[in-house]
Chain A
Amino acid sequence: MTSVLHRPERGGPSHSVADVLPFIARRLALAVATVLAVVTIAFVLGRATGEPGALLLPDNATQAEVDALNAALGFDRPIIVQYLDTLVGLVTGDFGDSYRLRESALGLVLERVPATLELAFWAFAIGLVLAVAAALAIQLTGSRVLRAVAGWAGAVRQSVPDFFFALLLVLVFSVLLGALPSLGRTSYASLVLPVLTLATGQFVMYLRLLDASLSEQAGQDFVRTAIAQGQRRSTVLFTRMLPNAALPVLGMAGLNLGGLLGGTVVVEVVFAWPGLGQLLTTAVSQRDFPIVQAGLVFVALAFVIVNTAVDVLVRRIDTRTAAA
């Protein structure tokens, strides 16, 4: 109901190229801002622990040696210069060398990425596919039992952190049954437990979302219209309800995928999986900041790219929000 005191309606939504461009430009600007924020924070953190010279050399090193090392690493320059240097490095892909290993920080990070991606990808794919299947099954059968079981099982899974669930899996499958390996990235079998840990979490999350979304769609007027025209309920489910229900889930998926990349950290530590997360935690405890910086930026970049892509996709599908 409109009232006297509403703002006036804006013009209708547009989706010509000329109007989409500012949107993309805005999203890109946001992406850049985010990455910059992350780089800055990483930079600040890096400098907050003080200069690495003292940390890297043995205790009996003289002050002169410490100063020399610091100068060699570029720590005697003014802060602003160091910061700009970091930014330049961001663009050229040069994050300096790891303090400990004397290799390119970015190189070390990239080396570990495939392992993390492996986990993340499988967990996401399996979790999502199973969730869609389960949500559709619940809608098609209308079974209250199915929904209740899914609800309870999901609640239990979400009541434990990933690392504990992983340990339970290890206890059952590695210790008691001896069927699956629990450490390292050695074989396809070693992939099972870590992926299972993450995938179950994903599955529960997506199922909850999809179920709520689909249930909301079921009550919509246009669903009633389609049924009143004689369409099969299953057809209506797939052609009308699912696309509309997928939208909010798609938005969440974008956010979640990025979170997944960061969230594999704990699982990698539990299973000694040689991925990016494990590299970062080690680097942090060893105060090896080039690696920390390179890793954080990489993850942030990946996250931002995924999110932007998802946002553009959603906007393309649902032109209603184009006006907003």
Chain B
Amino acid sequence: MSAVLRIEDLRIETTGDAARALVDGVSLHVDRGEALGVVGESGSGKSLTVLAALGLLPVGTRIAGGRIAIDEHVLVDVEAGVWAGERELRALRGRTAAMVFQDPMSSLDPLRAVGSQVAAAVRVHAPMSRRAARERAVELLTSVGVRDAAERAGTRPHQWSGGMRQRAMIAMAIAHDPLLLIADEPTTALDVTVQAQVMDLLAEVRERTGSALVLITHDLGLVAENSDRLAVMHHGRVVETGATRAVLDAPAEDYTKRLMAAMPAESERTAPAVRAGEPDALVADRIVVEYRVPGRKAPVRAVDGVSLRIAAGETVAVVGESGCGKSSLAKAVLGVQPATEGAVVLGGEPVRKELAARTAAERERAQIVFQDPYSALDPRLTVHELVAEPLRIRRAYSRAAVTKLLEDVGLDDGHAKRLPGQLSGGQRQRVGIARALALRPKLLVLDEPVSALDVSIQAQVLELLDGLQREHGLGYLFISHDLGVVRSIADRVVVMQQGRVVEEAPTAQIFRDPQHPFTRQLLDAVPRLDGPRRGSRPLPVS
């Protein structure tokens, strides 16, 4: 059995005075033609482990111990003092082992045409004329599903969509039929439906070339559907490894179990928190949001006649891909981007369409928790000040009130003194929630509140939100691009596409019996632990 990649006892440290171990005692191997999934949360060392194999470690880190061999060729052996030179590594990179990185936008040179970059990748290991290289580049692009490749090859990366760019990256990676393909979070930056297409492409490409695959990701579902074996990493160590199906069916380690438990729920909300007899948190009637784009004659309709009702204590999820209008709808409800037509009623009282025109009392009724925990909090203010701000604006500040709000979201006095930069993503989101609740709103707009968080933290925050809703009878407008996330918390799901509602139904029904083709597409794209294997079986071992 020949292993395409074999890593033994790898140890990676930071350089400098206080050397820290980022990866410690990690052993992995990938056989010919098979797919290995390396799963872990951010900071687990999964990327570093594999980057080390190609000598691509970032500045500030170094290999401190272990052995690395590609195709049974020893590249690094710290004990024996073997260190592959730059020339040897260059011969391997792109030819024997090729990488597909996470963010195709920044991974491509913004100033050169895509076709020219693919051609450059071709010419590195296969000297040929420029013209021949360009023809080969077009061939490769066509083979990965880029339509009209000949024309598009002359355009620059910012004119390609995210999915297309990733296809171009894959085209470059397979240019020399590598033995090993390394994909580092290849789909994280893409829309859900596009993710599925890219993974399908990878599977198909592997079938053609017989390459092995190392799939590095934080998404267990992705790994479940796309790998033969997996290795779970945590804090720089391999916690568990084995055949994918075996591990997922019967995880041995605690951490693995925790990761699996944190995956989007397999079942819907059991006990709804809807309160009868209270005014609806939100009634939106035939909302239209239009705006003018300079250079176009007709205004763009981001939201085209959408009506929505959220009862007190109810969670309605609005799901769709980027550009479907869900954000514009939320903006209209808040008044930030006022609706052009339609009416908004919050907590039983009608409010003006524009935020600036609303009274303070009107503004209180709808609050928002932002998506990005990093830009949602002023980096110069302490947690206490951040939560206190709305109270100060309304001249209702008291220390006790702030402390209580923080307690409700699980933060204590120790956290209250810190700056946002000293908090984790999950903690920052809690601060955002506490701040949003300060003015006792009737409706909480949650804009992708967990998509920037690690999977195990997501579950905690969703649980917190659930508890708060029960306690205060809040209505939630939950915006997401990911159907999987909303399953456990939404009572009803509204699916939007191009400014319109294409389907609206209770959560259970959406998941069991989706009607609209787009809903089915969305559902299909959610990687699941028990989902079917994409693409082919691995090649038989020689």
A/B contact in complex, CB under 8 angstroms: yes
**Given A10-B294, A224-B107, A244-B109, is A3 in contact with B124 using a C-beta cutoff of 8 Å?**
no
**In the complex, what residue of chain A is closest to B159 when comparing beta carbons?**
A12
**Cβ of B229 < 8 Å from any Cβ of A?**
no
B101 lies within 8 A of A224 (CB):
yes
Q: Does B152 contact A (CB under 8 A)?
A: no
Question: Taking A220-B106, A225-B101 as contacts, is the C-beta distance between A320 and B370 under 8 angstroms?
Answer: no
CB within 8 Å for A225 and B108 given contacts A230-B94, A231-B120: yes
With A4-B330, A229-B124, A230-B93: A222-B54 Cβ-Cβ less than 8 Å:
no
A10 to B292: give the CA distance in the assembly, Å.
10
Asked if A228 is at the interface (CB within 8 A of a chain B CB), the reply is yes
Known: A224-B56, A228-B93. A4 touches B447 (CB 8 A): yes
Chain A contacts of B534 at CB under 8 A? none
Kindly identify, within residues 206 to 258 of chain A, every residue whose CB is under 8 Å from any CB belonging to chain B.
219-222, 224-233, 239-240, 243-244, 247
Nearest CB in chain A to that of B99: its residue: A228
CB distance from B17 to the nearest CB of A (A): 17
For B295, what are the chain A residues with a Cβ–Cβ distance below 8 Å?
Answer: 10-11
The smallest C-beta distance from A216 to any residue of chain B, in angstroms, reads 13
A221-B156 in contact given A4-B445, A10-B293, A244-B110 (Cβ < 8 Å): no
Q: Tell me the count of chain A residues lying within 8 A, CB to CB, of chain B.
A: 34
Q: How far is A110 from B193 in the complex, measured between Cα atoms in Å?
A: 67
Which residues of chain A are near B479, meaning CB under 8 Å? 4
Kindly state the separation between the CA atoms of A220 and B337 in the bound complex, as whole angstroms: 35
What is the interface size of chain B, counting residues whose CB is below 8 A from a CB of the partner? Answer: 56
Whether, in the assembled complex, B235 has its beta carbon less than 8 Å from a beta carbon of chain A, the answer is no
State whether A317 touches B111 (Cβ < 8 A): yes
A229 and B370 in contact, given A3-B375, A8-B300 (Cβ under 8 angstroms): no
Q: Determine if A118 is an interface residue (Cβ-Cβ < 8 Å).
A: no
Interface residues of B in 12-69 (CB under 8 A from A): 54, 56, 59
Query: When the two chains form their complex, are residues B111 and A318 in contact, meaning their CB atoms are under 8 A apart?
Result: yes
| Interface mask (B298-341 → A, CB under 8 Å = 1, otherwise 0) | 00101000000000000000000010000110110010110000
Check if A319 is an interface residue, CB within 8 A of chain B. Answer: yes
Chain B residues positioned under 8 Å from A48 (CB to CB): none
Interchain CA distance A173-B479 in the complex, whole Å: 74
- Give the CA-CA distance A247 to B99 in the complex, in Å: 28
- Determine if B136 is an interface residue (Cβ-Cβ < 8 Å): no
List B residues 87-102 near A (Cβ within 8 Å).
90-95, 98-99, 101
B371's partner among A1, A8, A226 (CB-CB below 8 A) is A1
Bound CA span A220–B300, Å: 35
Q: Which of B359-403 contact A (CB under 8 A)?
A: 368, 370-372, 374-376
A177 interface residue (CB < 8 Å to B): no
Residue of B nearest to A4 (CB): B447
B328: min CB distance to chain A, Å: 8
A1 contacts B452, C-beta separation under 8 Å: yes
Q: How far is the CA of A188 from the CA of B99 in the complex (A)?
A: 57
Residues A1-44 near B (CB distance < 8 A): 1-6, 8, 10-13
- Residue B83 at the A interface, CB < 8 A? no
B103 beta carbon closer than 8 Å to chain A: yes
Which chain A residues border B212 with CB–CB below 8 Å? Answer: none
Residue of B nearest to A13 (CB): B158
Q: Is B275 an interface residue (CB 8 A)?
A: no
Q: How far is the CA of A288 from the CA of B334 in the complex (A)?
A: 65
Asked if A8 meets B293 with Cβ closer than 8 Å, knowing A228-B93, A229-B94, A229-B172, the reply is yes
Is B131 in the interface zone, CB < 8 Å from A? no
Q: A218 vs B287: C-alpha distance in the bound complex, in angstroms? A: 48
Residue of B nearest to A244 (CB): B111
Residues in chain B within 8 A of chain A (CB atoms):
54, 56, 59, 86, 90-95, 98-99, 101, 103, 106-112, 120-121, 124-125, 156, 158-159, 169, 172, 291, 293-296, 300, 302, 322, 327-328, 330-331, 334, 336-337, 368, 370-372, 374-376, 445, 447, 452, 479
Q: Which 9 A-B pairs have the closest CB atoms?
A: A229-B94, A230-B94, A1-B372, A230-B93, A221-B106, A4-B447, A221-B107, A228-B99, A222-B109
Give A contacts to B, CB under 8 Å: 1-6, 8, 10-13, 219-222, 224-233, 239-240, 243-244, 247, 317-320
Can you list 28 A-B contacts (CB < 8 A)?
Answer: A1-B372, A1-B375, A3-B447, A4-B336, A4-B371, A4-B479, A5-B331, A5-B337, A8-B328, A10-B295, A11-B293, A11-B296, A13-B159, A221-B101, A225-B101, A225-B107, A227-B93, A229-B93, A229-B94, A230-B90, A230-B91, A230-B93, A230-B125, A240-B112, A243-B112, A244-B111, A319-B156, A320-B158
